[in-house]
Each structure stands twice: as C-alpha cells, then as structure tokens.
Amino acid sequence: MADLRIDLAGIKSPNPFWLASAPPTNSGYQVQRAFEAGWGGAVWKTLGEPILNVSSRFAAVSFNGQRVAGFNNIELITDRPLEVNLQEILETKKRFPNHAIIASLMVEPKQEKWHEIVKKVEAVGVDGLELNFGCPHGMAERGMGSASGQVPELVERQTHWVKEVARTPVIVKLTPNITDITMTAEAAVRGGADAISMINTINSLAGVDLDSWNTVPHVGGKGAHGGYCGPAVKPIALNMVAECARNRFVNVPISGIGGISNWQDAAEFMLMGATGVQVCTAAMHHGFSIVEDMIDGLNNYLDDKGIASVMDLVGQSVQRYSNWGDLDLNYNIVAEINNDVCINCNKCHIACEDTSHQCIDMYTESGRPMLKVREVDCVGCNLCAIVCPVDGAISMVERRSTIPPMTWNERQSLISNFSR
Ligand SMILES: Cc1cc2nc3c(=O)[nH]c(=O)nc-3n(C[C@H](O)[C@H](O)[C@H](O)COP(=O)(O)O)c2cc1C
C-alpha cells in the first residue's frame, strides 16, 4: 500500500482528499462524519461577519443525461454565529487530531478585522487558514471575496496583514474570474502566502426557464449571477493549477480544486502540481462515501506504478506543459480506422467532411461499406476519434517525420538570424 499522507506547506493530512469550504463543511456534525468516512481534511465553510442567505440558491446543469454536469449557487459564507463554529471546530479537532482542519476566512479588507478573526480561529486549534478571495457573488458586492481577489494589490496587502499575526500556514484561495490567475497568485506569494488554492467558482447563470422566463435559480422572480463548479469546470481549474505550477514566481504548494469527482481527477491535478485536492460538488452530489473509492483507486494506481508515496506524484507533468511556441511543428499523427470494430455510423466522416479536412473516404468492399483515412490530407486533429462512439474504432497513430523537430520559436529565431 502506498503512503497517501501529504504535507501541504506544513499542514499534514492522512490523505490528499479534503472537503472544500462549502455546504459539506458547514458544521462539526458534518465534518466529523466526513472524517469518519475517510476524508483527510476539511476546509470549514467560510467564517466571517454573520450574513443572511436567500432561498432558493442552487441550480444544476444536466447535460445529455448526466445529472449535475455543472453546479451553480448564490449562497454566501456561513450563516451560523462565529462562536458556534469555533466551538465545533475545537470539538472536531479534539476528536480528530490527525486530520487537517483549515479555517476559511472572509472579512472586510481592514487590517484589524483580519487580525481579530485570525487570532480567534487559531485559538481553537485549526491547522491552517484559507483566505477566501474567491466567492463571486453577494460578498463581492460588499468588497470581499472575488472583489478583493481580482485586484493583485488587495490580495497582497490582505495576505500580508494575515501573515503579521498568523502562526499556522496561510493558504490564499484564488478566484478564476480574472484574465490571468498567475497575477493574483504571484501577489499572494509576495504577500507571504504559504500556499495557494484554486479555483473558487466561476461567474455564471445556470439558465432561463422558458415557461416563466425567470432565471434559474430565482428568488421570488429575480435572479443574480452565481458561481459555477462541478465536472464542467475541471479543465479550467486544471489549466489554472498548471499555469501557477509552472510559474517560477509562484513557488508555493497548490491545493487543487474544481470539478474533482474521482481519484483519476485528483491524480491529474497532483501530476499538474497540486499537493492535494479539495472537493465540493461531487460530495454534494454523491455523499461523503465517495472518498472510499478515491482512496482505493489512488492506492491501486500508485501501487501499479510502483510509487511509494503520493507526494512523489506531485508536479510530474508540469515540465510537459509549455507554451504553444515550444511545440514541435514537425510532429505528425494521423487517424487510423479499424473497420473490424467500426459500426459505420459515419459520424467521423460527417465531422471530417463538414468541419475538418475532408480526408475520410467512404468505399465498399465485398458489398460492405467501409471508411478509410487519406493520410496525406489528415492533419491529426483528433476530431474523428473524439466523435466516434466506439472504443478502438479510431486510433491516432504517430507517423515518423523525416524532418527534424522544429518549434515555432526556433523557426522564428532562425528566420531573424538569417535576415540579419
Ligand atoms: C453551494 C456552494 C457554496 C460554497 N461556499 C463556499 C464558501 O463559503 N467558501 C469558499 O471558499 N468556497 C465556497 N464554495 C466553492 C467551493 O469551495 C469550491 O471552490 C468550488 O465549488 C469548486 O469545487 P467543486 O467543483 O468540487 O465544487 C462553495 C461552492 C458551492 C457549490
């Protein structure tokens, strides 16, 4: 059995699976049940000044039969009194001393407010702090959450204020509602962050009801933008983690969040530089017990690969993520159709004919319809393999080029040297 323990900026947990700050971590009752189920850590539902929530507040996007492909919410931070949360954190930490409990915090951008709340939560024994500069709705209108998180100077300054008094590691949770997340990640590091986490939710409107013309969700006939999460956001989150992981100025551990639903998602985030992961929507959809499969799956994967510790997975793919200009222009793959497996639905032919490079020919052999790729015209775009409904019917295969590798950057520098 591989060692699943992680150490994220000094925060230790028995496995890399934490619950993200959200409804699943709203109370001691829930967090304790989550730890019993196997979760290694929990970021408590964001603490701050008491708020009022609206009803209703969630909506989901189902796509092609998949329930909750995306999830949208207009919920704010905790609506429970700070003292109650603090008491429950204390009790939970006492019962589960080896599990990670991180307090998520959001207050007005004032030094004394940050100092006050940091001291209060650290007094009840949290293992770390997560600064919520990410929630895009409700609190943002009051100058908190993503309103702070979109301004690098505010991220840096507030992180610095927290670091003035914090004794536990400080994770800064970033908003994806920004053009370049490395700008705010760098600001967090300049402010002294021990780690960063991403992503919080993405500005969204889940839908419009075609009968009532109300937004989904709506509050008595009115709607407001919410935050999007769940499986649909995973590629966006993974790219943001990867961009931060390969940025030399963001030299702190990353806690990966966004659309993580199983061990494979978690392993991908860790390969792309996350030291551990946080999960919200998948737990809300399927319950705490999904962590059992996550732990088993990750364990088996590491054993199969002969990897002794999950920490050895962290960042292994980062070097392979680069800029477009560093890709080899002479690398070549083409589609190959296996007519023994093909069911002749012709989806590949239609896709290629209508929207790609018109290189899949139809012909008949012994009265049977067949498809063949004209390799000279195939650009290796993958579209036919993507739309093909049958596993193994289309493979993308490498065609060795006789031309040596050449990136666009190399090409440009050759051209500029030549023209000098
Ligand atoms: C209903 C709901 C409430 C949330 N509340 C918070 C919150 O209080 N603090 C916070 O930092 N993030 C909050 N989030 C964001 C999650 O922590 C997480 O960043 C986001 O949902 C992406 O992860 P997922 O795709 O696994 O859901 C909330 C998300 C949802 C769905």
Ligand 1 geometric centre to CA of 336 (Å): 43
Across all residues in the chain, what is the average pLDDT?
A: 96
User: Measured from the CB, is residue 258 less than 6 Å from ligand 1?
Assistant: yes
Cβ distance 226 to 272 under 8 Å? no
Token digits for 95? 């019962």
Instruction: Write down the catalytic residue from 135, 342, 352, 384.
Output: 135
59 and 109 in a single domain? The answer is yes
> In 3-state terms, what secondary structure has residue 358?
coil
Which of the listed residues 201, 279, 290 should we mutate to test ligand 1's pocket, taking the one with most ligand atoms within 8 A of CB? 201
Ligand 1 geometric centre to CA of 210 (Å): 28
239 and 143 in a single domain? The answer is yes
Q: Is the model's pLDDT at 138 over the cut of 80?
A: no
Residue 419 is assigned to a structural domain of this protein: no
Please report the atom of ligand 1 found closest to the CA of residue 234.
Answer: 25
Q: pLDDT band at 391, cuts 50/70/90?
A: very high
Domain that holds residue 195: 6-320
371 and 252 in a single domain? The answer is no
14 and 142 in a single domain? The answer is yes
User: Measured from the CB, is residue 280 less than 6 Å from ligand 1?
Assistant: yes
Is 135 among the catalytic positions? yes
Residue 161 is assigned to a structural domain of this protein: yes
Q: Is the model's pLDDT at 67 over the cut of 80?
A: yes
Tell me the mean pLDDT in the region 5-29: 98
218 and 328 in a single domain? The answer is no
How does DSSP assign 133-201, residue by residue? ----SSSGGGT-THHHHT-HHHHHHHHHHHHHH--S-EEEEPPS-SS-HHHHHHHHHHTT-SEEEE--P
Residue 267 is assigned to a structural domain of this protein: yes
Tell me the mean pLDDT in the region 183-212: 97
45 and 173 in a single domain? The answer is yes
User: Measured from the CB, is residue 24 less than 6 Å from ligand 1?
Assistant: no
Q: pLDDT band at 143, cuts 50/70/90?
A: confident
What pLDDT shows up at residue 419? 83
334 - beta bridge partners?
397
CATH code for position 223:
3.20.20.70
Ligand 1 geometric centre to CA of 347 (Å): 38
Q: Dump pLDDT digits (tens) for 245-258.
A: 999 999 999 999 99
Provide the phi-psi class of 92: left if phi over 0, else alpha when psi is between -120 and 50, else beta.
Answer: alpha
Cβ distance 275 to 40 under 8 Å? no
Alpha-carbon distance 185 to 251, whole Å?
10
Ligand 1 geometric centre to CA of 23 (Å): 8
User: Measured from the CB, is residue 263 less than 6 Å from ligand 1?
Assistant: no
User: Measured from the CB, is residue 175 less than 6 Å from ligand 1?
Assistant: no
186 and 46 in a single domain? The answer is yes
Tell me the mean pLDDT in the region 193-222: 96
Provide the phi-psi class of 38: left if phi over 0, else alpha when psi is between -120 and 50, else beta.
Answer: left
Tell me the mean pLDDT in the region 186-194: 98
Map tokens 């939970």 to a residue.
92
Alpha-carbon distance 82 to 104, whole Å?
12
CATH code for position 336:
3.30.70.20
Q: Which of 34, 43, 230, 201 is nearest to 129 (CA)?
A: 43
Q: Dump pLDDT digits (tens) for 260-291.
A: 999 999 999 999 999 999 999 999 999 999 99
Q: What burial class does residue 28 get, using C-beta atoms within 10 Å of its C-beta: 0-12 exposed, 13-18 middle, 19+ buried?
A: buried
How is the beta sheet containing 66-73 ordered, strand by strand?
A: 58-63, 66-73, 226-229, 202-204
Total domains, the chain:
2
User: Measured from the CB, is residue 125 less than 6 Å from ligand 1?
Assistant: no
Query: Which residues have C-beta within 8 Å of that of residue 294, sequence separation ≥ 6?
Result: 17, 262, 263, 266
List Cα–Cα distances, 114 to 27, 106, 190, 283, in angstroms: 22, 8, 18, 30
Q: Whats the size of the chain, residue-wise?
A: 420
Task: Give nearest CA residue, ligand 1 atom 15.
Answer: 200
User: Measured from the CB, is residue 279 less than 6 Å from ligand 1?
Assistant: yes
Residue 309 is assigned to a structural domain of this protein: yes
143 and 280 in a single domain? The answer is yes
Q: What is the pTM of this model?
A: 0.96
Single out the residue in 320, 354, 380 at which a domain terminates. 320
250 and 367 in a single domain? The answer is no
Which residue type sits at 130? E
Q: Dump pLDDT digits (tens) for 324-380.
A: 999 999 999 999 999 999 999 999 999 999 999 999 999 999 999 999 999 999 999
Alpha-carbon distance 43 to 25, whole Å?
7
Tell me the mean pLDDT in the region 160-173: 98
Ligand 1 geometric centre to CA of 200 (Å): 6
Task: Give nearest CA residue, ligand 1 atom 14.
Answer: 22
The CA-CA-CA angle for residues 101, 106, 110, to 5°, reads 130
45 and 160 in a single domain? The answer is yes
Q: Is the model's pLDDT at 146 over the cut of 90?
A: no
User: Measured from the CB, is residue 315 less than 6 Å from ligand 1?
Assistant: no
Ligand 1 geometric centre to CA of 276 (Å): 16
Alpha-carbon distance 242 to 235, whole Å?
10
211 and 335 in a single domain? The answer is no
What pLDDT shows up at residue 51? 86
Token digits for 267? 């392993």
Q: Is the model's pLDDT at 120 over the cut of 90?
A: yes
What pLDDT shows up at residue 276? 98
For 377, which DSSP code? G
CA 17 to chain centre: 13
309 and 354 in a single domain? The answer is no
User: Measured from the CB, is residue 146 less than 6 Å from ligand 1?
Assistant: no
Q: pLDDT band at 393, cuts 50/70/90?
A: very high
Residue 43 is assigned to a structural domain of this protein: yes
Q: Which helix (H) or strand (E) holds 337?
A: strand 333-337
Single out the residue in 320, 355, 382 at which a domain terminates. 320
